[in-house]
Chain A
Amino acid sequence: MSTSSVSKGCFVFKPNAKKRKKTTSLEDYFTHGSENTENGKLRFKTCQTLWDKMTADTEFLQDELNRKILDSLLEFIRKSASTFQHGANDWGSQMRAHEIPTAALVLGVNVPDHDMTFHSLSEQLQQSVTQFVVSLQAKECAALKQLMQNVLQRLMGASVSVKDDDLDESEPGCSTVDHKRAHCSLSTLCDWYNTVTKKASSGTPGKKRVSAGKDMHQHPPIVVIFKDLEAFNSRVLQDFILICSRYVEELPLIFIFGIATAPSTIQHMLPHSASSLLCIELFQSLSCTQHLATVIDKVILTSQFPFKPSGKVLQVLVSIFLYHDFSVRNFIKGLQLALLEHFHSQPLSVLCCQKQEAQGNLSKLSHQDVERIQQLPSFMRYVENQPPEDQVKLLTNDDHVKEVCQKLLKDLRKYHKNYYPILRCLHVLTSSLPKYPLGKQIRELHISCLEKNVWENEEYASAMTLLRMMAKEELVSALQTCSNILKPGKTKKIKAALLQLQDLLDKFKKPDSVSDSAAVDDITSPGKTLQKKTDLFQLQKSLMEMKGSRRSKKMSQYEMLREEALDFIDQLVRSHLAPPESQPLYEVCYYSSSAVLRRHLNATPRTSIQTALSNPYHYLKNEDLRNEDGTVSNAAPDICIVYKLHLECGRLINLYDWLQAYATVASAAEGKDPDSADYGKVNELKHARFIQAVSELEFLGFIKSTKQKTDHVSRLTWGGC
């Protein structure tokens, strides 16, 4: 798996095989520590299932998203293959110089995410077009020889055993057309290809059948995939292209360039002498932000996943995505980490699952689990709002608590069922507004809803005012989509809302009387214009004159309807988009410790090393090391002392002075009296310790040896005290 991406450091490389092993160790990790193991086991099981579901869904999504581009790519390859078959009959293609058909596949800057795409691509190729597919990575092709070797081995590997030291091996006395003694050259490949294809066409059951058009049978193309073009050495690439172009008549070669940045890099990498041998066609995959949007839409903005990230957590994940890496995979991994953390840290997460299991688990709850429930802030809030006698029961009777929880969980599920459709409706209405007061992407709206009561912040207010002057047709269409969103809704609340919305729409549809239709027009006209102007000042002005006009005129029928509709929407929002904190037992489903997540996903090694060195107490928690004013006590580990001292030096550090300073501090630590003769003297021990500390610093990359000046080292850090 490649690590060259805009997110390398932060990648969790976890092949599936390893995951199994890991999870088994995970289980006891769950149970261990907690007093009742079966609870832990349960949590682990649910966590496991959710995890796998998430992975499966997202992978499916990814395939869906790649489908279009892959299909077009396959089409391209088929076409060029068939032209190779019966191309050279018409005048034009005879006269034309023969070029190697090449697909430039642009996949966005995050290279590790490409692996999946390429994998599925080569699979589809294998089963639908040709079995001759080679995919190359830059790091295996440092030199032309390796590149050649890889290509040949992977192609002919099936039929012959090409040895590793293939390059110039030749045992005398083996038959003339064997590939054993093959110097890896394309001519060898040619011979091999001809033999193989002959076999295939004559129909001997030697090679696998190719399940494509019959011309594919005779001459299946040879597809060479360069996974990460940018990383390739351009010299090597040129030579390879040059060699291939000499065989373009015999071999139906096709290249695929995996490009992370932009197609123009081809022109930058290859001189024209090389690029003029290619016939490049372009394939753009959709941007990773769209990709993310779909993933969030399918995985987070749905009630089918009981586990929910809180606003902050989501914020962290999204910002990592947007600021550091454009890696969707990374995002998903982050989400899964959150999932893991939640189930591990929160014992009550045992209730965070589908309805039926939840009931079962609830009944299984132990006494202290119940106590945990009672201590949940949200539950307490709920209790306070109950009449006193219930309060007593809720605090004493476990079974009662369980029953109540049953109901509460049900409510929570309902809440979610209502929340998402309404959220989408609101987004539909507001996403078309100028300046996007409530955010362009739905995730932003979602986050702001999770934070606090969305209707309390002024963006919402401004959005509403803007909506209140929306032109008819837009409003209607928006509401129409809303109703479509609400249709699948199951809960009665949603059903009711849907009905209401429907007859509102009907009212809108019914034509107004002539008299106010005019009014409608000239009222709505500023509204219309409003869509166009985006700067706020303009907005204010128009708002003003609106007010004026409103005062003067009586409201037209359309306006009244609009008012009604928007009030209805507003009331929907208020009733359904309350933040989860308002719901009792929300802790069961929501994971909110964003700090942990940030620490894990976006580590700051440098700073933590520096804290460790400048303030050892922070990690060692040893009282003697506690220090107030940022000074290191002389009892600190040698490396800390040495580090502290080196901060006081310039770019070049004289080792001897350094040693002296160290010796003084060290002997101070030994508590010698400052007047004694050997105070601050350097003995072997101190010397040794000093040397060790220094070499440790060097290892950490704070200093390095230099040739500028004898017995000096140079600092690699800047600043200091």
Chain B
Amino acid sequence: MPGQIQHPGYEEEKLLRVSKLLPCRDVQAGRLLALMGEPEQYSYPSIFIYGHRATGKSHVLHTLLNELELPYATVSCVECLSLGLLFQKIILSLFGSDCVPLLPRSPSLSDFVRVYKQLCVQSTAKQTKYIVLDRADLLRDMEANILPAFLRLQELVEDNVTVVLLSEIVWEKFRPNTGCFEPLLLHFPDYSKDELQQIMCEDSHPSYTSELYSAFINILLGVFYSVCRDLRELRHLAALNFFKFIEPLEKDEVKESDIHRLWRNIEPHLKKAMQTVYLREVSSVQWEQQQMAEKEAGALRGLSAHAHVELPYYSKFLLIAAYLASYNPARTDKRFFVKHHGKIKKNNFLKKHEKTSNHLLGPKPFPLDRLLAVFYSVVDSRVAPTASVFSQISSLVTLQLLSQLGHDDQLDAPKYKCAVSLDFIQAISRTVSFDIVKYLYDFL
């Protein structure tokens, strides 16, 4: 049923093969092909393809380029730590490895263009060359001239070349403020639910009927579709949970027709999966193992379940102090920590001009001396300001339990924020039997 892609420039059977390989993407493929035109014909200098993850952007493009045997270079910008790497890859895959040495070390863009030109002159191929830049959004972080230059590369190198940019991010976020050559925008829409169903059913388990599998997929989508539409993710989940699904069949408690029973069996399991393996709280391997082991799904504790941290006694109090300092307004310290705060009236103290609580707004920064002041007033025994007390603070920073703001010039009265959650700090203060909630402004 895939709408046959047609183009005079290429043989029928090739195109047929392509359209086999691209389920539910024939429209996009067709349009793309039409734009590319026949091998010798010019194509638009730069094409910008955007769409959600796993909507077949690079898949479509690469199948076309591969199957139709067009000259192309594809580079993922994630890997390009340096411009040199980028250029090298392009030259390599367009002109072959023996041309790479022509590039000088740490080449500039003009070097690249020069080399490219001179190579073009040598090569007689008239075909359109394609340069595919995946994760193009990273081009923005490179030198300012790279993105505009690639957009008008055809003009710069005076060769029949087309640059294709792939990204999940819309073009508006790319455009430099002085403008640039506008690429041709192509959108790859997300798969509809049915399309997802259709695609995922293609990789059904060999030893089971495709009806069964599609039923399974249907259930899976029922649970996950409202949360996640990433095909890759969904496929992964399907693979992980299929065996659980067919378990009753294996034990022939249920017969294949009885989808409802199967559904009742799998549904809670999938719900569980959403909380664990979908978030990678539990690794996929562990997940499968526990399925095999017939354990009930609660048995596995996720990563964030192990939040408990053993800390030295004073570090605990330092952390508590930091938490108090960053979630209580400074003006309330007096009331909390001074023994006889006669003046402060309960009611006018309690007026919360900010109706939103600090636990909604997040931690506020505080200076070192406030931290120490609070620390000395919460810790029960009197502590000598030894070197180790101070070093513990900076250690807490490196452990990312505290976070230091601004440049870390110690003389310049550093500011900190507490970077732990309420549950965490409560657990900590329980171990030193310190009732932190009593000291928190929000819970008054």
Instruction: Give Cα A183 to B81, complex, Å.
Output: 9
The chain A residue sitting closest to B315, CB to CB, is A6
- Any B CB within 8 A of the CB of A377: no
Instruction: Give Cα A268 to B304, complex, Å.
Output: 9
With contacts A97-B232, A603-B387, A607-B385 known, is A170 near B100, CB below 8 A? yes
Contact between B243 and A108, CB atoms less than 8 A apart: no
With contacts A6-B311, A8-B395, A10-B391 known, is A168 near B306, CB below 8 A? no
Q: Which of A281-289, A412-420, A634-642 contacts the other chain? A: A281-289
Find the residue from B240, B387, B394 having the highest chain A CB count within 10 A. B387
- Any B CB within 8 A of the CB of A50: no
Across the interface, which residues of B come within 8 angstroms of A173, CB to CB?
101
Instruction: Give Cα A604 to B306, complex, Å.
Output: 36
Find the residue from A4, A91, A289 having the highest chain B CB count within 10 A. A91
Instruction: Give Cα A148 to B97, complex, Å.
Output: 23
Per-residue interface assignment for chain B, residues 79 to 97, with 1 indicating a CB less than 8 Å from any chain A CB and 0 otherwise: 1011111001000000001
In the A-B complex, the 9 residue pairs with the smallest Cβ-Cβ separation, listed nearest first, are A95-B239, A168-B84, A172-B101, A9-B391, A4-B398, A324-B388, A9-B387, A264-B304, A168-B106
- Any A CB within 8 A of the CB of B236: yes
- Any B CB within 8 A of the CB of A577: no
Q: Which of A238-246, A507-515, A623-631 contacts the other chain? A: A238-246
The count of residues in chain A whose C-beta lies closer than 8 Å to any C-beta of chain B is 86
Across the interface, which residues of A come within 8 angstroms of B411, CB to CB?
701, 704, 716
A sample of 30 inter-chain contacts (CB < 8 A) reads A6-B315, A6-B395, A8-B391, A9-B390, A95-B235, A95-B236, A95-B238, A95-B239, A101-B285, A109-B310, A145-B81, A167-B81, A168-B107, A169-B105, A170-B88, A170-B105, A172-B101, A183-B81, A183-B82, A185-B81, A230-B400, A243-B78, A266-B303, A269-B400, A322-B313, A326-B310, A326-B312, A605-B387, A704-B411, A716-B413
- Min CB distance A444 to B, Å, is 15
The chain A residue sitting closest to B317, CB to CB, is A323
- Any B CB within 8 A of the CB of A267: yes
Find the residue from A168, A228, A282, A289 having the highest chain B CB count within 10 A. A168
Contact between B389 and A104, CB atoms less than 8 A apart: no
- Any A CB within 8 A of the CB of B194: no
Apart from the given pairs A262-B306, A279-B283, 16 other A-B contacts in the complex at a CB distance below 8 Å: A4-B399, A9-B387, A95-B236, A167-B84, A172-B101, A183-B84, A185-B81, A228-B398, A263-B306, A265-B400, A266-B303, A279-B284, A287-B310, A324-B392, A326-B311, A718-B369
Instruction: Give Cα A145 to B101, complex, Å.
Output: 22
User: Which of B76, B279, B395 interacts with A272 by CB under 8 Å?
Assistant: B279
Instruction: Give Cα A7 to B391, complex, Å.
Output: 7
Across the interface, which residues of B come within 8 angstroms of A7, CB to CB?
388, 391-392, 395
The count of residues in chain B whose C-beta lies closer than 8 Å to any C-beta of chain A is 73
Contact between B84 and A170, CB atoms less than 8 A apart: yes
- Any A CB within 8 A of the CB of B360: no
User: Which of B84, B101, B283, B413 interacts with A280 by CB under 8 Å?
Assistant: B283
- Min CB distance A226 to B, Å, is 14
Instruction: Give Cα A246 to B76, complex, Å.
Output: 10
- Min CB distance A248 to B, Å, is 13
With contacts A106-B306, A323-B314 known, is A92 near B392, CB below 8 A? no
Contact between A701 and B410, CB atoms less than 8 A apart: yes
Per-residue interface assignment for chain A, residues 1 to 40, with 1 indicating a CB less than 8 Å from any chain B CB and 0 otherwise: 0001111111000000000000000000000000000000
Per-residue interface assignment for chain B, residues 298 to 330, with 1 indicating a CB less than 8 Å from any chain A CB and 0 otherwise: 000001111111111111000000000000000
CB within 8 Å: A-B pair count: 209
Contact between A275 and B280, CB atoms less than 8 A apart: yes
- Any A CB within 8 A of the CB of B286: yes
- Any A CB within 8 A of the CB of B412: yes
Across the interface, which residues of A come within 8 angstroms of B384, CB to CB?
602, 604, 607
Instruction: Give Cα A657 to B328, complex, Å.
Output: 38
Instruction: Give Cα A92 to B100, complex, Å.
Output: 41
List B residues 273-294 near A (Cβ within 8 Å): 279-281, 283-286, 288
User: Which of A4, A99, A185, A264 interacts with B85 by CB under 8 Å?
Assistant: A185
- Any A CB within 8 A of the CB of B67: no
User: Which of A96, A246, A279 interacts with B79 by CB under 8 Å?
Assistant: A246
User: Which of B281, B288, B309 interacts with A92 by CB under 8 Å?
Assistant: B288
Instruction: Give Cα A123 to B413, complex, Å.
Output: 44
- Any A CB within 8 A of the CB of B32: no
Contact between B310 and A10, CB atoms less than 8 A apart: no
- Min CB distance B283 to A, Å, is 4
The chain B residue sitting closest to A245, CB to CB, is B78
- Any A CB within 8 A of the CB of B250: no
Contact between B284 and A96, CB atoms less than 8 A apart: yes
Contact between A264 and B306, CB atoms less than 8 A apart: yes
- Any B CB within 8 A of the CB of A171: yes
- Any A CB within 8 A of the CB of B212: no
- Any A CB within 8 A of the CB of B42: no
Instruction: Give Cα A304 to B233, complex, Å.
Output: 61
User: Which of B97, B285, B309, B398 interacts with A281 by CB under 8 Å?
Assistant: B285
Instruction: Give Cα A324 to B387, complex, Å.
Output: 10
The chain B residue sitting closest to A330, CB to CB, is B388
- Any B CB within 8 A of the CB of A260: yes
Instruction: Give Cα A172 to B410, complex, Å.
Output: 48
Contact between A92 and B387, CB atoms less than 8 A apart: no
Contact between B312 and A97, CB atoms less than 8 A apart: no
Instruction: Give Cα A262 to B391, complex, Å.
Output: 21
Contact between A263 and B303, CB atoms less than 8 A apart: yes
Across the interface, which residues of B come within 8 angstroms of A172, CB to CB?
101-102, 104
- Min CB distance A259 to B, Å, is 10
Across the interface, which residues of B come within 8 angstroms of A606, CB to CB?
385
- Any B CB within 8 A of the CB of A231: yes
Instruction: Give Cα A350 to B233, complex, Å.
Output: 72
Across the interface, which residues of B come within 8 angstroms of A97, CB to CB?
232-233, 235-236
- Min CB distance A614 to B, Å, is 15
Instruction: Give Cα A501 to B100, complex, Å.
Output: 87
Tell me the A residues contacting B by CB distance below 8 Å: 4-10, 91-97, 99, 101-102, 104, 106, 108-109, 111, 144-145, 148, 167-174, 176, 181, 183-187, 228, 230-231, 239, 242-243, 246, 260-269, 272, 275-276, 278-282, 284, 287-289, 320-326, 602-607, 701, 704, 716, 718
- Min CB distance A571 to B, Å, is 38
Across the interface, which residues of B come within 8 angstroms of A102, CB to CB?
283
Per-residue interface assignment for chain B, residues 219 to 251, with 1 indicating a CB less than 8 Å from any chain A CB and 0 otherwise: 000000000000011011011101100000000
- Min CB distance B90 to A, Å, is 13
Instruction: Give Cα A96 to B313, complex, Å.
Output: 45
Across the interface, which residues of A come within 8 angstroms of B78, CB to CB?
239, 242-243, 246
- Min CB distance A76 to B, Å, is 10
Contact between A104 and B303, CB atoms less than 8 A apart: yes
Contact between B388 and A10, CB atoms less than 8 A apart: yes
- Any A CB within 8 A of the CB of B205: yes
Across the interface, which residues of A come within 8 angstroms of B385, CB to CB?
604, 606-607
- Min CB distance B278 to A, Å, is 9
Instruction: Give Cα A515 to B385, complex, Å.
Output: 67
Instruction: Give Cα A228 to B395, complex, Å.
Output: 12
- Min CB distance A699 to B, Å, is 10
Contact between A324 and B400, CB atoms less than 8 A apart: no
Instruction: Give Cα A394 to B399, complex, Å.
Output: 61
Per-residue interface assignment for chain B, residues 368 to 385, with 1 indicating a CB less than 8 Å from any chain A CB and 0 otherwise: 010000000000000011
The chain B residue sitting closest to A288, CB to CB, is B310
- Min CB distance B235 to A, Å, is 6
- Any A CB within 8 A of the CB of B103: yes
The chain B residue sitting closest to A171, CB to CB, is B105
Across the interface, which residues of A come within 8 angstroms of B97, CB to CB?
176
Contact between B206 and A91, CB atoms less than 8 A apart: yes
Find the residue from B308, B312, B384, B385 having the highest chain A CB count within 10 A. B312
- Any A CB within 8 A of the CB of B155: no
Contact between A8 and B394, CB atoms less than 8 A apart: yes
Instruction: Give Cα A262 to B399, complex, Å.
Output: 10
Contact between A604 and B386, CB atoms less than 8 A apart: yes
Instruction: Give Cα A264 to B301, complex, Å.
Output: 11
- Any A CB within 8 A of the CB of B203: yes
Instruction: Give Cα A228 to B394, complex, Å.
Output: 15
